[in-house]
Each structure stands twice: as C-alpha cells, then as structure tokens.
C-alpha cells in the first residue's frame, strides 16, 4: 500500500479566507459566529449563524463561469486554488488521468429557490436561463471544477450528511493508497444561507443563547444546540513518492480512515457507531490509542450529539482519553464541510506550531464527564490526531493523521 500525504490546504471559512487569517483566529480563539436578527423576523427560533467576511467571488472567475456555480462552489474553487498554490502546483497540472477530484456536498437549497423564482419571473421554462440546472445538482462542485481545471481523471461527489467532507478525504486517500491515482484534490463545501437551514431550526437543533460568540459550547453542561455555518475546504492529497519526487511540502500524512453507519435512527447518534469508525482508522494507521495526542472532535454543541460522542470516546480510549479539541466552538457547525475543514484546521495549526483551545467550555454535565476538553491553547503543534465526523442517518467517519 502506498503512503498518502497532504501537500496543500485551502479554506474559505468563517475564521478567514486565507491560511494566515484562519491561523490567527484559531490561535487567538476568535469566533466566526454572529447574530442575524432578520432570521427571527422570518420565523426562526435562532438568529445565530457563521459569517464569511472579505471573500471576493469574482477574483478568479468570470461572470460567465460563475453563472453555473452556487456561492459554495465558487468558494470551493478559491480554496482549491489556495491548496494547489501551497503544494507548488498550477491548475493546469490537474489535466491528467492520474489526478482526481472528490468533494463532499449534500444540498443546493438556495439554487433550487432561485430556480423557482426565475421560473415565476419568466413565466415559462425557456426564459429561465441556462445556468440553473448546473447550480442545482448535488455534484455542482466537482462538475464545475472539472471543467475549470480541465481534469481528465475520475471525479465525483460524496453525500453523507455532516460526514461528507471526511468521507471525501477517506475515499481520496483510498484511491491513492490502492495505486489508482497519484493525486486527488478533495474537500467539501456548505452553503451559508437561511433557506438551507430553516428546517434544522424547525427541529429545535439550533442554539438560542446570546451573545452569539458564546452560543456554540461543545461538551459544556449548558450547551443548548448548534450554530449553522459554512464555506469551503480543499486539500491536495498525494502519493508520498510522487510528492517527494517533485519536492512538495509534506504537511501531514493520512495514516488511516474508518467509516460506519449506526443503523438506528435518522437524527439521534448512537453510542457505538463512531467508536467503530475510530477503531478502524487507528487499525489502518497501525496506531494504538496511546499514540494519539489530540482528538479533533465532531462535537457540534447539541445535547444528544456531544453525549453520544463522549460515550464513543470512552469506549475507544477508556480512562486514557487524550486532549479533545472542539473547534466548532469557534466556527459553528460547518455541516457537510466540517469533516474536511477540521482536517485543514489541524494542518494549519501544526504548521503554525500550536494546538487551538476550545472556547466557551465551563464544565461537563453527567454525559460528558471525563472528556479532557482542551481549554487552554498549547504552544506545541498536534502530532498524531484522530479527526471525527458524524451526520444524520448515522453516518460516521474518522481520520488518523500524522502532522508536521
């Protein structure tokens, strides 16, 4: 089996639109969560959301190119360009059968709303314009990147709810490990708008706590729900020998990937499914639990979700659980994007030489007791990380990484 390394990462995030901005926010514990009062006027219970500032979607794309792309696909394109740049590659390097594209995505709600509005305005389908069909497809990211970069290798989209981004990385790594591809651009994106999350709010899943920056509080005794967020994350995965041959920066190694399904309920995570995925990732990476120095928790700040992850962590690590960082305290829940974003955040931390703290954690409840939540920033980088993701329908994924 071939070794798989990460040679570039890019992000368009509520923490920043460059690696330096993201590193600064992670280091200083700066939240990307705000309140949008108009959501209350629209009938939401919660006004809270992540917000991306300073992103210029027209910077690298013409108006004609953007016509077929929703906002999150444009963000994925920008994140991919940043990842390629860090890796020392140009977009034209992707014009090869040995390069692939794999992204996670599980909705295009705003595009569907816009399509309906265009039909009502035009009065007939022939007057709607030609871009809607491409914006509305779940594979909109990979199909657009395919054309923009001229990629001739395999390309597909992964839909596994909030584990989509982690699945994309795991599947990309498998393609390289098996020798089918030499390099894969992978990642995920999440649309950031109110239509895509109103039904979540209707389920009572969102925090209503104020002020906004204190609302997302994973594992904390007073957590009351998640905060929706979004953006895009991209990573370049390569075969180790290929990367070494071209003197690429080796930022991290993907040691193992595990995935599972709960097979129980649509919305309530089980106390065993994520543990199976973690054990699979450790086994594939040839790791013992004692080798892990940080767990990058899924930890969305929901009462049931955090309780389930705590139970899964205890099942795997027993009383020897390593430090647990819960980055959604800063970002909110980036949903489909989150599994990929958390890996990118870990790589950025390792390169900058620190491990980020979890904010808003004041103490556990009885379900999260015994989980060593990292509440003070460490001035040392994470080295061996287990990064978790889980989603509706019982989707679970875990990625074992060696950083630096």
CATH, residue 295:
3.40.47.10
CA nearest neighbour of 286 among 139, 384, 355: 384
Structural domain range at position 213? 4-403
pLDDT tier for residue 404 given thresholds of 50, 70 and 90: confident
Out of 77, 186, 259, 333, which one is annotated catalytic? 333
> Is 298 among the catalytic positions?
yes
Mean pLDDT of 190-202: 96
% of the chain with per-residue pLDDT over 90:
94
> Is 60 among the catalytic positions?
no
Output the pTM of the full model: 0.97
> Which pLDDT score, from 0 to 100, does residue 1 have?
86
Out of 132, 186, 259, 298, which one is annotated catalytic? 298
Question: How many domains does the chain contain in total?
Answer: 1
Which residues contact residue 56 at a Cβ distance below 8 angstroms, ignoring those fewer than 6 apart? Answer: none
pLDDT at residue 127 greater than cutoff 90: no
Out of 77, 132, 162, 259, which one is annotated catalytic? 162
pLDDT at residue 130 greater than cutoff 90: no
> Is 162 among the catalytic positions?
yes
Mean pLDDT of 296-321: 98
Specify the 3-state DSSP secondary structure of 330.
helix
Q: E strand or H helix at 273, and its extent?
A: helix 273-284
Per-residue model confidence as pLDDT tens digits over 215-263: 999 999 999 999 999 999 999 999 999 999 999 999 999 999 999 999 9
Mean pLDDT of 67-92: 98
Helix axes 338-352, 164-177, angle to 10 degrees: 70
> Which pLDDT score, from 0 to 100, does residue 242 have?
97
> Range with the lowest mean pLDDT among 56-65, 294-303, 349-358?
56-65
Buried/exposed code over 239-256 (b: 16+ C-beta within 10 A; e: otherwise): bbebbeeeebebbbbbbb
Work out the number of other CB atoms within 10 angstroms of the CB of residue 116.
Answer: 12
Per-residue model confidence as pLDDT tens digits over 367-395: 999 999 999 999 999 999 999 999 999 99
Work out the number of other CB atoms within 10 angstroms of the CB of residue 286.
Answer: 10
Tell whether the torsion through CA atoms of 191, 192, 196 and 201 is positive or negative.
positive
pLDDT tier for residue 364 given thresholds of 50, 70 and 90: very high
């Amino acid at each position: 089996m071939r070794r798989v390394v990460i040679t570039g990462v890019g992000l368009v995030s509520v923490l920043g639109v460059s690696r330096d901005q993201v590193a600064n926010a992670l280091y200083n514990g700066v939240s990307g969560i705000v309140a949008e009062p108009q959501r209350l006027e629209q009938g939401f219970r919660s006004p809270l959301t992540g917000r991306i500032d300073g992103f210029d979607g027209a910077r690298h794309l013409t108006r004609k190119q953007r016509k077929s792309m929703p906002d999150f696909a444009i963000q994925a394109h920008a994140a991919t360009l940043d990842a390629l740049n860090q890796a020392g590659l140009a977009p034209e390097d992707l014009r090869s059968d040995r390069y692939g594209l794999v992204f996670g995505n599980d909705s295009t709600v705003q595009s569907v709303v816009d399509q309906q509005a265009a039909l009502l305005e035009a009065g007939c389908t022939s007057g709607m314009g030609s871009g809607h069909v491409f914006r509305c497809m779940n594979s909109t990211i990979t199909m657009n990147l395919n054309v923009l970069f001229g990629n001739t290798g395999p390309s597909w989209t992964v839909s596994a709810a909030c584990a989509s981004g982690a699945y994309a990385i795991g599947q990309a790594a498998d393609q390289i490990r098996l020798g089918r591809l030499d390099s894969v651009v992978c990642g995920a994106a999440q649309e950031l708008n109110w239509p895509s999350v109103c039904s979540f709010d209707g389920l009572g899943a969102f925090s209503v706590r104020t002020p906004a920056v204190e609302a997302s509080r994973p594992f904390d005794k007073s957590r009351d729900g998640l905060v929706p967020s979004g953006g895009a994350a991209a990573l370049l995965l390569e075969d180790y020998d290929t990367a070494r041959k071209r003197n690429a920066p080796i930022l991290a190694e993907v040691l193992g990937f595990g995935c599972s399904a709960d097979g129980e309920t649509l919305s309530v995570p089980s106390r065993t499914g994520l543990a199976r995925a973690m054990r699979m990732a450790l086994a594939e990476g040839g790791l013992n639990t004692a080798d892990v120095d940080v767990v990058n928790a899924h930890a969305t700040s929901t009462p049931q979700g955090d309780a389930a992850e705590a139970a899964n962590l205890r099942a795997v690590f027993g009383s020897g659980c390593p430090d647990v960082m819960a980055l959604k305290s800063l970002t909110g829940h980036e949903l489909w994007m989150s599994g990929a974003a958390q890996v990118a955040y870990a790589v950025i931390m390792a390169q900058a030489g620190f491990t980020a703290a979890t904010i808003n954690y004041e103490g556990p409840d009885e379900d999260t007791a015994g989980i060593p939540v990292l509440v003070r920033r460490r001035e040392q980088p994470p080295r061996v990380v287990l990064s978790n993701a889980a989603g509706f329908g019982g989707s679970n994924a875990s990625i074992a990484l060696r950083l630096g």
